């Protein structure tokens, strides 16, 4: 079965979720492109979009329609050529409609897991729970005569463990999209010990066809992305505890969040990022990583406590941010959660005093957006961080320590063999987390050696 | 052409802002003014200078495709919304694609010449930001022959003029031509920066030439043009009054605040036939020749030109069609600075279609307003010096790919 034959029948499990819907969109578009080729006219391309909720599946179809339209609008020059032999399709509008219909025509929304049994390729995008994943993957297990290849979107659970427990015999591979899959360029590919080479080759080909940036990670819980993000988050939490000895918790969270964004030139502060991912998701990932990497303290009583208080983060259906460590107004942080008072303290009541305590940013300022667009980005960052080091302020000190710890985490991923090279860690943070620079850099090198 | 039976003047011009990307006020997702708002603003501005609708005998409006951009037909009936004094007066809507504005002017000129009106309110309007560019391209493509649409480019007219640019490069050399197109863009933006109603008025790009020389991206656009070679999508309206001497007197406007129409040419090519030579604008050449002949002047007598630079290559081709440069030498003429505002014959002194904007149906009227301002010394920050030796202004308005063309020669009244 070659690439095109294998993609004739696909299933996505957890299809209507945040990750699943993006995967359905990308794969359905790739399948539609194959279906539109003259040599594939005799084939029938089918994608079973499996999810538990009919309502969510309706939402998925709406999302697919909107996204297929956007994609068609962008690709209109090429699509006119694709549809050149359809004489009835004349205007751009008609061609765009035809393309949307051709993409939707591939997708079969269903709440029946068994529909996935006839697929040759299964993408699994269920929530980050091993038990749930194993339950779903029974459909692909040893008694499925089609022996489908399975690509799990897990961001933390070791592939070999899932393969063995689900009795997939090397038909499983980690294919970790970043959120949202349709926008994010990065894909982490993770081979288990027994993953068959043809499965890995297919994954490489597909990732390339989806125009993704591929980074291979070794099969260690958390992989590269969460391997850095979780440790980075735990460091931030430990810094708030350290600061919290002299300041309130609320002030400490605000300050560490601000330092990790403005002083470290990142797209968002660390607590905003935790909220974006969701405290519940972070807890799941830590619960996967901690027992598999014992002795590293990969747990957070604070996150557990906040979740017990109902503070979750994550996004609403319309993509807006739910309150977590921080509360949000119009997508911007507006307050910090105080677990003692069980309410959010407005930022404007603490911001001025905290900012004064942190001290000024180096001049000229280098906001993240300006940094990523800077024609001489490396020099600009070197200049900014060079000046930062010279500032003997609390903010500069926190930032330099933070940058050094982030670097240490990155180097640890390389020395532990999770990443094959420093470049892979940097690529993950640059593309998957939109950082302006990789954690393994020379900006914070001196601080570690001191 | 027969000699004009009486003198025809234009005065009291008014433009709205040319709204669209580039203007800071423009936000594609926020509600914006509609057709009637633009018509009211431009028409109202002209009426005010005329002393009100009582001094208007009839009105005509040029518009290309409101039926599809705005789901609106019967545009003549929007004219009385400008002022109730226009109620019950004869109103007409004309269409000739991007030449609709100049067709409105011709309609007004002919009414005055026919002595059926002493004063005609002329408007042009287009509101195009109602649809995304990819669908707007379908609507604009109706200015070409519908049977060519299927084989045409997604961006139909950029495709047509890209083909012209490609043919011109092949015949006369790419590098020099490309540089001239870039210079055309730079001149357009520099002029637009001086004109508060121009779409590119707030353009603050530092290195215009580098932008203009960026390589085309055929995968997402066309082979031989980049985005800077193209006029943008615009919403806007322009208005001007066309009057006899009696009409001027009635409005109390002295002749020296008006321009006189001293000649014109109007030509039509066959929509279903491809141009014989892609490197020349033959229909434009013929219209301009007629206009100059009827005015009794030569190209060398022109002090300024408003040309239809929907694309920079159309600007280059126009210098040759007017007769200011020989075929293949338009780029030299432009690169020598002759079309810039300090050159021998400044072109498009308020930015033209690329700099001021191209609300398609309004463009022909906008060109007349700019020439009226320049020739009567009312162009404010855009003013160029006019010399008594070369007192003439020429406008060229083109519909489709050099299919419907009107050229008009003006002189201060």
Whether residue B219 is predicted with pLDDT greater than 90 in this model: the reply is yes
* Phi, psi dihedrals of residue A353, rounded to the nearest 5°: -65, -40
Of A319-333, B53-67, B308-322, the poorest mean pLDDT is in A319-333
Of residues A326 and A318, more confidently modeled = A326
The CA distance from B181 to A78, in Å, is 27
Residues 6+ apart with CB under 8 A from B107: B60, B92, B94, B120, B122
The 10s digit of each residue's pLDDT in B84-104 is: 999 999 999 999 999 999 999
Is the Cβ–Cβ distance between B168 and B184 less than 8 Å?
A: no
d(CA A124, CA A133): 8
Q: Among B99, B225, B68, which Cα is nearest to B155's?
A: B225
DSSP letter at B70? S
Mean pLDDT of B43-68: 98
**Res. A445: pLDDT tops 90:** no
Q: Do B220 and A90 touch (CB under 8 A)?
A: no
Distance CA B350, CA B358 (A): 12
Does the beta-carbon distance from A77 to B221 stay under 8 Å? yes
pLDDT in tens, A279-299: 999 999 999 999 999 999 999
Q: What would the pLDDT profile of B239-291 be if each residue is shown by its tens digit?
A: 999 999 999 999 999 999 999 999 999 999 999 999 999 999 999 999 999 99
For A93, nearest residue in chain B (alpha carbons) = B135
Task: State the smallest CA–CA distance between residue A258 and chain B in angstroms.
Answer: 31
Domains of chain B, first to last:
9-132+233-257 (3.40.47.10), 153-231+263-412 (3.40.47.10)
pLDDT of residue B242: 98
Partner-chain contact A77 B149, CB within 8 Å: no
With an 8 Å Cβ cutoff, the interface of chain A facing chain B consists of 73-74, 76-80, 87, 90-93, 96
Which chain B residue's Cα is nearest to A86? Answer: B150
* DSSP run (H or E) holding B188: helix B174-192
- Asked if A76 lies within 8 A of B150 by C-beta distance, the reply is no
Residue A449: its pLDDT value, please? 47
C-alpha gyration radius of chain B: 20
Domains in chain A (CATH in brackets) are 3-217 (3.40.50.720), 225-449 (1.10.1040.50)
Q: Are B100 and B405 in contact (CB under 8 A)?
A: no
The minimal CB distance from A73 to the residues B134, B153, B218 is found for B134
Question: What residues in B contact A100, CB-CB < 8 Å?
Answer: none
Shortest CB distance from B150 goes to which of A76, A78, A90? A90
pLDDT digit string, tens, across residues B111-124: 999 999 999 999 99
Cβ pair B138:A91 closer than 8 A: yes
User: How many C-beta neighbours within 10 Å does residue B47 have?
Assistant: 25
pLDDT band per the 50, 70, 90 thresholds, residue A142: confident
Chain-chain contact of A93 with B135 (C-beta, under 8 angstroms): yes
Q: What is the mean pLDDT of chain A?
A: 95
Rounded-to-integer distance, Cα B106 and Cα A67, Å: 47
* Chain B residue with minimum CA distance to A95: B154
What per-residue confidence (pLDDT) applies to A315? 87
pLDDT at residue B2, as a whole number: 61
The answer to whether the CB atoms of B134 and A91 lie below 8 A apart is no
| Mean pLDDT for the stretch of residues A323-338 | 96
pLDDT grade for A446, boundaries at 50, 70 and 90: low
Q: What is the 3-state secondary structure (H, E, C) of chain A?
A: CCHHHHCCEEEEECCCCHHHHHHHHHHHHHHHHHHCCHHHCCCCCEEEEECCCHHHHHHHHHHHHHHHHHHHHHCHHHHHHHCCCCCCCCCHHHHHHHHHHHHHHHEEEECCHHHHHHCCEEEECCCCCHHHHHHHHHHHCCCCCCCCEEEECCCCCCHHHHHHHCCCCCCEEEEEECCCCCCCCEEEEEECCCCCHHHHHHHHHHHHHCCCEEEEECCCCCCCHHHHHHHHHHHHHHHHHHHCCCCCHHHHHHHHHHHHHHHCCCCCCHHHHHHHHCHHHHHHHHHHHHHHCCCCCCCCHHHHHHHHCCCCCCECCCCCECCCCEEEECCEEEEEEECCCCEEEEHHHCHHHHHHHHCCCCCCCCCHHHHHHCCCHHHHHHHHHHHHHHCCCHHHHHHHHHHHHHHHHHHHHHHCCCECCHHHHHHHHHHHCCCCCCCCCCCCHHHHHC
Distance CA B224, CA B222 (A): 6
Flag if B154 and A73 touch (Cβ within 8 Å).
Answer: no
pTM listed for this prediction: 0.89
Numbered residues of chain B with Cβ closer than 8 Å to any chain A Cβ: 132, 134-135, 137-138, 141, 149-150, 153-155, 218-221
With CB atoms and an 8 Å threshold, state whether B154 touches A80.
yes
The model's pLDDT over A231-257, given as tens digits with 9 standing for 90+, comes to 999 999 999 999 989 999 999 999 999
Q: Over the stretch A159-217, which tens digit does the pLDDT of each residue have?
A: 999 999 999 999 999 999 998 999 999 999 999 999 999 999 999 999 999 999 999 99
Say how far apart CA A236 and CA B68 lie, in whole Å.
56
* Nearest-CA distance B149 → chain A (Å): 6
Residue from the list A73, A87, A93 with its beta carbon closest to the beta carbon of B150: A87
pLDDT of residue A41: 87
Provide the number of CB pairs (under 8 Å) joining chain A to chain B: 30
Contact present, A388 and A400 (Cβ < 8 Å): yes
Which residues of chain B neighbour A71 with C-beta distances below 8 Å? none
Distance (Å) from the alpha carbon of A89 to chain B's nearest alpha carbon = 8
């Amino acid at each position: 079965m070659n690439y095109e034959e294998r993609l004739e029948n696909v299933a996505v499990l957890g299809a209507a979720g945040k990750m699943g819907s993006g995967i359905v969109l990308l794969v359905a578009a790739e399948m539609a492109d194959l279906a539109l080729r003259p040599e594939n006219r005799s084939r029938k391309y089918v994608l079973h979009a499996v999810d538990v909720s009919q309502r969510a599946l309706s939402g998925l179809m709406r999302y697919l329609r909107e996204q297929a339209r956007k994609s068609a609008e962008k690709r209109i020059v090429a699509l006119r050529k694709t549809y050149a032999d359809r004489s009835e399709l004349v205007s751009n509008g008609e061609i765009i409609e035809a393309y949307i219909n051709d993409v939707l025509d591939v997708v079969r929304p269903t709440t029946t897991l068994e529909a996935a049994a006839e697929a040759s390729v299964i993408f699994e995008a269920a929530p980050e729970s091993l038990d749930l994943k194993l339950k779903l993957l029974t459909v692909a297990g040893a008694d499925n005569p089609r022996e489908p290849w399975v690509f799990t979107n897990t961001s933390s659970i070791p592939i070999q463990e899932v393969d063995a427990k689900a009795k997939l015999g090397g038909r499983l591979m980690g294919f970790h999209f970043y959120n949202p899959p349709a926008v994010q360029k990065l894909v982490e590919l993770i081979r288990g010990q027994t993953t068959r080479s043809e499965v890995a080759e297919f994954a490489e080909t597909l990732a390339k066809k989806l125009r993704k940036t591929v980074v291979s990670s070794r099969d260690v819980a958390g992989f590269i992305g969460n391997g850095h993000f979780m440790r980075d988050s735990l460091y931030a939490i430990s810094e708030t505890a350290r600061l919290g000895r002299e300041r309130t918790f609320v002030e400490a969270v605000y300050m560490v969040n601000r330092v990790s964004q403005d002083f470290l030139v990142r797209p968002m502060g660390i607590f905003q990022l935790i909220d974006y991912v969701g405290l519940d998701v972070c807890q799941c990932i830590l619960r996967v990583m901690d027992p598999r990497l014992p002795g590293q303290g990969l747990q957070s009583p604070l996150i557990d406590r906040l979740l017990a208080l109902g503070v979750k983060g994550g996004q609403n259906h319309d993509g807006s941010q739910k309150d977590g460590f921080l509360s949000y107004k119009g997508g911007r942080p507006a307050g910090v959660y105080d677990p003692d008072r069980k309410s959010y303290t407005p930022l404007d009541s603490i911001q001025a005093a905290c900012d004064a305590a942190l001290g000024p940013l180096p001049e000229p300022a280098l906001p993240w957006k300006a940094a990523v667009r800077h024609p001489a980005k490396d020099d600009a960052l070197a200049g900014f961080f060079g000046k930062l080091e010279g500032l003997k302020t609390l903010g500069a000190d926190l930032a330099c320590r933070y940058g050094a710890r982030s670097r240490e985490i990155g180097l640890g991923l390389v020395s532990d063999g999770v990443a094959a090279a420093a470049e892979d860690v940097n690529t993950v943070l640059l593309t998957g987390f939109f950082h302006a620079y990789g954690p393994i850099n020379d900006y914070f090198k001196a601080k570690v050696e001191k | 052409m027969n000699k004009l039976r009486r003198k025809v003047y234009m005065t009291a011009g008014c433009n709205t802002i040319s709204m669209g990307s580039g203007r800071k006020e423009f936000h594609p997702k926020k509600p914006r003014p509609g057709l009637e708002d633009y018509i009211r603003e431009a028409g109202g501005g002209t009426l005010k200078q005329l002393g009100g609708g009582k001094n208007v005998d009839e009105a005509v409006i040029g518009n290309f495709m409101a039926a599809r951009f705005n789901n609106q037909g019967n545009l003549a009936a929007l004219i009385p919304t400008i002022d109730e004094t226009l109620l019950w007066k004869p109103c007409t809507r004309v269409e000739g694609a991007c030449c609709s504005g100049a067709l409105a002017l011709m309609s007004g000129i002919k009414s005055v010449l026919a002595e059926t009106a002493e004063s005609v309110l002329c408007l042009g309007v287009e509101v195009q930001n109602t649809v995304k560019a990819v669908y707007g391209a379908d609507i604009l493509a109706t200015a070409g022959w519908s049977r060519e649409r299927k084989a045409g480019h997604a961006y139909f007219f950029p495709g047509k003029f890209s083909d012209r640019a490609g043919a011109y490069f092949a015949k006369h050399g790419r590098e020099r031509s490309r540089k001239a197109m870039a210079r055309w863009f730079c001149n357009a933006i520099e002029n637009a920066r001086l004109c508060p109603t121009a779409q590119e008025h707030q353009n603050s790009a530092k290195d215009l030439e580098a932008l203009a020389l960026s390589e085309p991206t055929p995968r997402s656009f066309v082979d031989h043009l980049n985005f800077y070679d193209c006029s943008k999508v615009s919403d806007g309206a322009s208005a001007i009054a066309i009057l006899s001497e009696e009409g001027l007197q009635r409005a109390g406007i002295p002749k020296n605040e008006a321009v006189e129409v001293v000649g014109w040419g109007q030509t039509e090519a066959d929509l279903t036939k491809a141009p014989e030579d892609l490197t020349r604008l033959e229909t434009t050449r013929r219209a301009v020749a007629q206009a100059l002949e009827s005015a009794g002047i030569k190209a060398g007598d022109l002090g300024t030109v408003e040309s239809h630079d929907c694309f920079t290559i159309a600007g280059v081709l126009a210098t040759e069609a007017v007769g200011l440069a020989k075929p293949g030498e338009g780029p030299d003429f432009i690169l020598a600075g002759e079309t810039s505002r300090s050159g021998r014959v400044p072109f498009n002194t308020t930015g033209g279609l690329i700099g001021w904007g191209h609300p398609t149906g309004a463009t022909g009227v906008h060109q007349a307003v700019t020439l009226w301002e320049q020739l009567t010394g009312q162009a404010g920050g855009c003013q160029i010096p006019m010399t008594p030796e070369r007192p003439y202004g020429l406008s060229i308005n083109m519909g489709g790919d050099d299919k419907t063309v009107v050229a008009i020669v003006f002189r201060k009244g």
